[in-house]
Amino acid sequence: MAGTFKFKIITPERVVIDTEVEQVTATARDGQLSILPHHEPLVTALGIDILRYVERGEEHSAAIIGGILEVSEEDVVVLSDAAELGIEIDEARANKAKERAEVEKMQKADKLDTHMAELALAKAMARLRAAELAEQRKHRSRRGG
């Protein structure tokens, strides 16, 4: 297929997704980038944020907790310590993690502890945004567009 490419998200525990997509949009450490078919090869570090991908004309999301994005001639691969598809995320659990991280961040005086609390907050926020996008897509599908 000329308009698609192979896309994988891999963590140490599992292959999160392995599919054909039309586009991938991710947040690298130095800004956002979108990958389309026939993109030039590259390797970049990813931040903690959501990743969006278009599969068969529908946009989907995943929470990516850092990692590496590699674009080759054949495919796009994300290697991450942790990643979840938006449809897999338990919103209530993610909200509780966000609340805990916000409290911890306000209580920490040590720079390292503050940084760890900020990372936990960024992770929770990415998970919540991915879950929210998945929920919005589900509602649009039910309404027919």
Q: Which residues of the chain have pLDDT under 70?
A: 1-2, 95, 105, 108-112, 114-115, 138-145
81: left (phi over 0), alpha (psi -120 to 50) or beta: alpha
**pLDDT number for residue 66:** 87
* Cβ neighbours of residue 87 closer than 8 Å, sequence gap 6 or more: 60, 134, 138
**pLDDT number for residue 1:** 45
**pLDDT number for residue 143:** 66
Q: H-type helices in the chain, by residue range?
A: 91-107, 111-143
**pLDDT number for residue 41:** 96
Q: What is the pLDDT of residues 61-78, one digit of tens each?
A: 999 988 999 999 889 999
Question: How crowded is residue 103: how many other Cβ atoms within 10 Å of its Cβ?
Answer: 11
Rounded to two decimals, what is the model's pTM?
Answer: 0.72
**pLDDT number for residue 2:** 59
- Mean pLDDT, the chain, integer: 85
Map tokens 């390292």 to a residue.
112
Angle between helices 91-107 and 111-143 (to 10 degrees): 160
* Greatest Cα pair distance in the chain: 54
Domains plus CATH for the chain? 5-86 (2.60.15.10), 89-143 (1.20.5.440)
